[in-house]
Amino acid sequence: LGGTPEQEAYMRDIIDQFTVDTNYLNQIRDHFMAEMDKGLEKEGATLAMIPSFVEGRLTGKEEGHFLALDLGGTNLRVVLVTLEGQGKYKTVSSKSRVSEELKTGPMRNLCDYIAECVDTFLTEQGLEDQEVELNLGYTFSFPVLQSRINRGVLTTWTKGFACTGAVGKDPVLLLQDALLRKHVPVKVSALVNDTVGTLLSNAYNKPSTLAGLILGTGANGAYIEKFDKITKWKGSKASADEMIINMEFGAFDNERKILPLTRFDNKLDRESINPHAQLYEKMVSGMYLGEITRNVLTDMIDRELLLKRDENTSLAWSKEISRHWSFETAFMSNIEADNSTDYAHTKEILDTNLNLHDVTTTEARFIKKICELVGKRAARLAATSIAAIVKHCGIDADGCDIGIDGSLYEFYPSFEARMYEALTEMMPELTNIRKTIRLGLARDGSGVGAALTACVAARME
Ligand code: ADP
């Protein structure tokens, strides 16, 4: 890479630590499959493998008006989805802020607020006097123990929400009560997990969809399982022979049996708000990749292998990059996209975002290489989950579609290409991987996907 012998030796070691070869990928995939089996067999396994209560498959012919409601971030979103059949649909939506007061006040107030937003939205759309109730799919992105397609219990709040009178209660019933109090003609028919929504939104126009993945802030996936294989199932027999399983695979290998954890991953885990949890997610998803990269960079700086400047300036130099989470995953995307010979764009990103002026071309080359190592490892590890699902389920000659949502997959250059490369290595028998395991961007799982879940729920009644 054109550095000093010390720098070159360091980089060789780093390359070695972050490289996951074909053989290793296969081992991880096999462990993934074994963990899937455990999760299907009993409660409390590392891969939770949660039955979604969404039974059967979509035909693409589903039609009608459905509502979707998305609560879980800063905004509350209400969407009217018109399914037109033939895999086509239209959406109209409205967004409103959820104030801090509502997030931490009584749950009744929050539900009244949501009901009011739905009511206002229906009036705007001229649907307030509907004779028949509209079915609504509720994406409630908090930990819920589900017992039916539209029944569940909130186990704990996350992400800054802390309403009183909600933990241990059913968010569907609480919302339904508020809608009834206001005479809003809406039935909350489904409680939706975002990965399940992603799968369904992809499946509506791609009937061969086998799985849905989220590769954004976090990482998770859902796939269609044969009902007979869910051996832990205690409920009554389902109406169809298949059910979607929410894998909660961010927690894969929390017991550290197989993942190629480096000291940089361990540092990130130790300093995170959830040490020892979500280990796979921490190597794969958008929230963490920048921080892993930063950990390598600061290690090099400490060893005086990178950004070494004279005594007086070196402190000021490293101030910004010494701050936790200061290196965003989006910077990695931009740096990786830099194809200039003098790394002008990389230098500019480091200058404007991290206050690192006058980075040399050799230094920029090192930094880009580190981004590439972390990004490539993430994509290859992410591919092991798909390989595990595909091998677990088995596919025929027509292959399958995999819907993926999230900024990491959508915007990180080469992320998808690297996933395909890893899939090819794991499945050399498939001659055209892109035609057999078709990855694609699945949009709006919490909108269209939630509406489709409400549609399936109405069908199941
Ligand atoms: P969410 O998963 O929260 O619904 P997103 O899919 O937008 O939202 O994912 C946000 C995550 O994606 C953040 O962790 C962020 O670091 C990362 N991210 C945002 N933009 C980019 C980008 N251009 N390249 C890579 N990662 C990105």
**CA-CA distance, 230 to 395, in Å (whole number)?**
19
**What is the pLDDT at residue 316?**
63
pLDDT tens-digit readout, 264-299: 999 999 999 889 999 999 999 999 999 999 999 999
Rg, C-alpha atoms of the chain? 24
DSSP string, 283-317: HHSHHHHHHHHHHHHHHHHHTTSSS---HHHHHHH
Question: Model confidence over 9-45: pLDDT tens digits?
Answer: 999 999 999 999 999 999 999 999 999 999 999 999 9
Out of 194, 265, 401, 405, pick the active-site residue. 194
Residue 33 token pair: 């499959």
- The protein residue whose alpha carbon is closest to atom 9 in ligand 1 is 216
Please report the pLDDT score of residue 312 as a whole number: 66
Tell me what pLDDT residue 165 has. Answer: 97
CATH of span 55-204+446-456? 3.30.420.40
Q: Is 16 a catalytic residue?
A: no
| pLDDT tens-digit readout, 329-339 | 999 999 999 99
Does the structure show a pLDDT above 90 at 143? no
Give the Å distance between the CA of 152 and the centre of ligand 1.
29
Q: For a pLDDT cut of 90, what percent of the chain falls above it?
A: 85
Supply the pLDDT for residue 314: 62
Q: Is the pLDDT of residue 315 over 80?
A: no
* pLDDT at res. 219: 93
325 alpha carbon, distance to own chain's centre: 19
Q: Which residues of 54-67 are buried (b: 16+ CB within 10 A; e: fewer)?
A: bbbbbeeebebbbb
Cβ(446) to ligand 1 under 6 A? Answer: no
Sorted by where each begins, the domain ranges of the chain are 55-204+446-456
Ligand 1 in reach of 269 Cβ (< 6 A): no
